[in-house]
A and B are shown apart, each in its own frame.
Chain A
């Protein structure tokens, strides 16, 4: 039986980290959240972002859903929600999400406190108190079936689809065999490979929903009378040998492994625990896509790269995997798993086993390269005007 040492939670699966999350409601509250995290303990972590105080309704709803999901992620032991006090995103709703999951939570309004300096002082006190509340919690042995594993790829090249992605996919297959959940996203990178995924859907409803989501992302390009070629594959992907979006997608989907597709959820929507392979409908931008999965409940992320990527996340450890021998060499200090041996004949399954072991070790507290270097990128997906129009039913 595969296990890891995690932090038990009052409800839901165990955490792999035990953070006080300092969550700003808007861009205005972000500097205060960052200052509070800087002034307190190492495991007080802020999630600064760029969302405004009064976004359009569909965007507001998405920001609230994302921040609520982040607040109840299993890695969050306690949450401090920081607002300016005028935002339409409801700070109390975000705080309630954490409280409903049994986490200690406080809110802080910059307006009510009397400005940013006073808010930083007050927030620092609150964060220290929250930290004191959770600092004594100890890890205990938990079943691997409690893990929700998010997989992502970025800076892809031809090695991604040949080595790193199928190897991470083999790790997903192992976790799912052991009862866990694996999830991958980036719907634009299903284009040209959706027929392969559709065949693996467990039922007609999932299949229809998947195809509808892919069609919507493809239509975004068509609505604008442009083709995807400028952006997908990106100029960097093209330099790495990827010619078309179909080629990129066929390589990208292998990072989810080979098991049936059990569902597809919205950006930042809650992922099932013990749910097998579940997709999330997200844009292709890595940072936003990772945050969507962390908001959905992923405790650990694996991130494959060919050309190189160094990014992490403030709340979930990100395991970096490369199949490109040059990147494995040049960015060795930022990589956790070298999958480039696949090119020279190392079996994908043996690299998959190494990645699965790394996942369990990281879940038990081993720090990733991104964590050691405090790389903690965070961004919430902002709905674009054409997406808002479609959600309103104008398009």
Chain B
């Protein structure tokens, strides 16, 4: 597998990634060691879903595979679930084209 498994819980696919992928169904409170710190899960994270390792502000790039997979649309604290409720794509946004034309 590419990347490093942190604390037998999260897969960190590239060094610059700011999220890890849960490699099991993880309970709230699970501790993930990261960069001399411990990230404690604020909520239960299902297998395959992502957890923030660092604080993210709206507009910050969310990084996985060493690449940008989208941007945070609200503040996300370390240990919080990162998914469609707080992270959005930057691509294929016809809805934004309409906004731009209206502006």
Chain A contact residues, CB within 8 Å of chain B? 157-159, 161-163, 166, 188, 191-193, 196, 218, 221-229, 232, 238, 240-241, 243-247, 250-251, 306, 324, 326, 342-343, 345, 347-348
Contacts and interface: CB of A to CB of B under 8 A. Distances in A.
B92 A243 contact: no
Interface stretch (B31-39, B43-51, B52-60): B43-51
Nearest to A195: B67
B87 A158 contact: no
B98 interface: yes
Nearest to A346: B1
Contact of B50 (A188, A196, A243, A348): A243
Contact of B70 (A240, A246, A348): A246
13 contacts: A166-B2, A188-B92, A225-B98, A228-B91, A228-B93, A228-B94, A241-B50, A243-B84, A243-B87, A244-B90, A246-B89, A251-B65, A343-B23
A250 B64 contact: yes
B95 A244 contact: no
A222 B94 contact: yes
Contact of A218 (B50, B62, B92, B96): B92
Contact of A247 (B23, B70, B96): B70
Closest 10 CB pairs of A and B: A158-B48, A241-B48, A228-B92, A244-B89, A247-B69, A244-B70, A222-B94, A241-B49, A227-B95, A246-B69
B93 A222 contact: yes
A157 B94 contact: no
Given A192-B89, A243-B87, A250-B67, A227 B94 contact: yes
Contact of B95 (A157, A225, A232, A342): A225
A260 B14 CA distance: 22
B69 A250 contact: yes
A244 B96 CA distance: 16
A232 B48 contact: no
Contacts of A240: 48
B41 interface: no
Contacts of B13: 162
Given A238-B83, A243-B84, A159 B91 contact: no
A140 B22 CA distance: 47
A195 to B, nearest CB: 8
B18 interface: no
B69 A163 contact: no
B97 to A, nearest CB: 5
B1 A345 contact: yes
A33 B85 CA distance: 48
B5 to A, nearest CB: 8
Given A192-B91, A225-B98, 5 more contacts: A222-B94, A225-B97, A227-B94, A246-B67, A247-B65
B95 A191 contact: no
A200 to B, nearest CB: 14
A289 B93 CA distance: 24
Contacts of B48: 157-159, 240-241, 306, 324
A238 B84 contact: yes
Nearest to B13: A162
Interface string B66-92: 011110000000000011100111111
B11 A162 contact: yes
B70 A343 contact: no
A232 B67 contact: no
Contacts of A226: 94-95
Nearest to B1: A342
Contacts of A159: 48
A226 B98 CA distance: 9
B49 A225 contact: no
